[in-house]
Amino acid sequence: MGLINDELAEVRKMCEHVVPGSKLVTCVPAMVRIEIRKTDFKQLAACFQFPADYPRSVILLELKSKTLSDKLLAGLVKLCEAEAKKLIGKPQLLALAKFVSRFLDENPLSCCSAELSRVRQLLADSDELKLKQKVSTVSLSLRSGEYQYRAHLLVPGDYPLQRVTVEERWSNLPATLCRWLTGQATEIARRCVEPPLRPPRNAPPFQPQPSLEPVVAFLVEDFKRFPTDLCQHCKKVALPADPADVVEDGGADLHVERVYCGHLYHFGCLVQYMKTPPFDGGKKCELCGKRIFHEKYKVSPQLAEARWAQEQARERELGEVIDFLQ
Ligand SMILES: [Zn+2]
Ligand SMILES: [Zn+2]
C-alpha cells in the first residue's frame, strides 16, 4: 500500500499542474478520478483503479464522456494500456493522465469521431477520406465515373459550435457545377450553426448542430449523381462521359446548366425550351415542374410571349419570301 499512497500523494500535488485542463475529483486508494476538459465538447473523465499487484501489472483505466464517442474512448483506452505496459514496475497514473490530455490536444478531430464513422459508411471503395489531425482537417476525395471532386473540410477548435469550412481542392466537373457544390455545402454547414432569420412558430430554441456529417452526406449524394444526370430537355446524359470534353464556354450549346430546382439542362436545350410556348406562369422544369429561375433568363412570361410572337412573324415572313421564290 505504501507505493500506492506515495503515488496518490504525488497525484494530489502535481496533477492539475502537469496535466493541462485537468481537475482531480477523487483521489483515494480505491479510485482516482480525473476530469480533463479541453472544450465543452472535448472533455472526459478518467477513472483509475489499482490492481492487487500494482505496479507489477498495468493500472485499470475507464474513460467516460458525454460528448466523445464510445468508439474513440475504447481506442484511447487501448493506447493507454500499451503506454502503461511500458511503465510496469513504476508509477503509471500521472503519466497516463498526461498521455490522455496530450491525445486530445493532438487529435482535434476526436470531437467528431462518431460523425466520421457514420460518414465513412456513405463512401464507396473508390472514395477516400483522410484525417489530418495536425491541421484539424478532413480530406475528402469523391469519384463518380471519370469525374472527381476533392475538398478539405476544416474542423474549428470550438466545433460543433462553429461550422466546418469547405475548401474545394480539385475537380474535373465544369467550374459552374463545382462552385455550386462547394457553395451549397457551405450553406448547409452555415444552417447547422446559425439560427434561421425567421424561425418557424413554436420552434424550440435554436441549438447549433454538428455540420460535418450533413456536409459530406450532401456532397456525396449530389456529386455522385451529376455524371449520370440527364438534360431534362433532350433526355440525354448532360455531362460528357470523358471529363476532357467538358464545355466551359457558357454560351455553347453543350455547356451544362443547373437550374433552380437542381436539374440539369444543356445551354442550347434550355435556350430552345425557354423560347418555346407555353409561357403562362413562367417556364417550368420539364421534370419536376418547378419554375425555372436562371440568371440568364430574367424574362417575364409576357416578354417571352412577345418575343415568341415576333419570331413566329419573322419566320412567316421568311416563309412567304421562300414561297415567293419558288
Ligand atoms: Zn440537352
Ligand atoms: Zn427540375
**Domain ranges for the chain:** 2-106, 108-195+208-228, 255-326
Tens-digit pLDDT profile for residues 282-313? 788 999 988 887 666 556 666 666 666 666 66
Cα-to-centroid distance, 201 and ligand 2 (Å): 29
Is the backbone peptide bond immediately before 160 cis, with ω within 30 degrees of 0?
Answer: yes
Place of cell 462552385: 179
Distance, CA of 221 to chain centre: 12
Cα-to-centroid distance, 232 and ligand 1 (Å): 7
Cα-to-centroid distance, 66 and ligand 2 (Å): 43
3-class SS at 26? strand
Over residues 179-196, the mean pLDDT reads 93
Q: What confidence tier does 196 reach under pLDDT thresholds 50, 70, 90?
A: confident
Reference 79, options 112, 49, 108, 46; nearest CA is: 46
Asked if domains 2-106 and 108-195+208-228 share a fold, the reply is: yes
Residue 248 confidence (pLDDT): 92
Spatial neighbors of 313 by CB under 8 A, at least 6 apart, are none
- What's the Cα-to-Cα distance from 220 to each of 109, 110, 125, 187, rounded to whole Å? 20, 22, 13, 15
**Ligand having the closest approach to the CA of 268:** 1
Tens-digit pLDDT profile for residues 6-28? 999 999 999 999 999 999 999 99
- Residues with C-beta atoms within 5 A of ion ligand 1: 231, 233-234, 266, 269
Question: How many CB atoms neighbour CB 195 within 10 A?
Answer: 12
Tens-digit pLDDT profile for residues 222-278? 999 999 999 999 999 999 999 999 999 988 999 999 888 889 999 999 989 988 888
Are the C-beta atoms of 320 and 326 separated by less than 8 Å? no
Cα-to-centroid distance, 304 and ligand 1 (Å): 21
How far apart, in whole angstroms, are the C-alpha atoms of residue 131 and residue 42? 17
**Helical ranges in the chain per DSSP H:** 2-18, 70-85, 93-106, 113-121, 175-193, 212-225, 267-274, 301-325
Cα-to-centroid distance, 144 and ligand 1 (Å): 21
Cα-to-centroid distance, 101 and ligand 2 (Å): 51
Cα-to-centroid distance, 150 and ligand 1 (Å): 27
Cα-to-centroid distance, 220 and ligand 1 (Å): 24
How far apart, in whole angstroms, are the C-alpha atoms of residue 59 and residue 55? 7
Are the C-beta atoms of 143 and 171 separated by less than 8 Å? no
**Ligand having the closest approach to the CA of 260:** 2
Q: Is the dihedral of CA 215, 221, 226, 229 positive or negative?
A: negative
Over residues 51-61, the mean pLDDT reads 95
Task: Strand 31-39: give its sheet, edge to edge.
Answer: 22-28, 31-39, 42-49, 60-64
Cα-to-centroid distance, 284 and ligand 2 (Å): 8
Q: Which bin fits 282, alpha (ψ -120 to 50), beta or left (φ > 0)?
A: left
How far apart, in whole angstroms, are the C-alpha atoms of residue 127 and residue 140? 8
3-class SS at 266? strand
**Ligand having the closest approach to the CA of 287:** 2
Residue 325 confidence (pLDDT): 45
Cα-to-centroid distance, 171 and ligand 1 (Å): 23
Answer whether residue 317 shows pLDDT above 60. no
Are the C-beta atoms of 244 and 228 separated by less than 8 Å? no
Cα-to-centroid distance, 311 and ligand 1 (Å): 22
Over residues 122-146, the mean pLDDT reads 95
Cα-to-centroid distance, 141 and ligand 1 (Å): 29
* Domain 2-106 homologous superfamily, CATH: Ubiquitin Conjugating Enzyme (3.10.110.10)
Cα-to-centroid distance, 290 and ligand 2 (Å): 6
Q: What confidence tier does 131 reach under pLDDT thresholds 50, 70, 90?
A: very high
Cα-to-centroid distance, 283 and ligand 1 (Å): 16
**Ligand having the closest approach to the CA of 289:** 2
Cα-to-centroid distance, 239 and ligand 1 (Å): 10
Q: What confidence tier does 324 reach under pLDDT thresholds 50, 70, 90?
A: very low
Are the C-beta atoms of 283 and 271 separated by less than 8 Å? no
For domain 108-195+208-228, is the CATH number 3.30.70.870?
no
Residue 292 confidence (pLDDT): 83
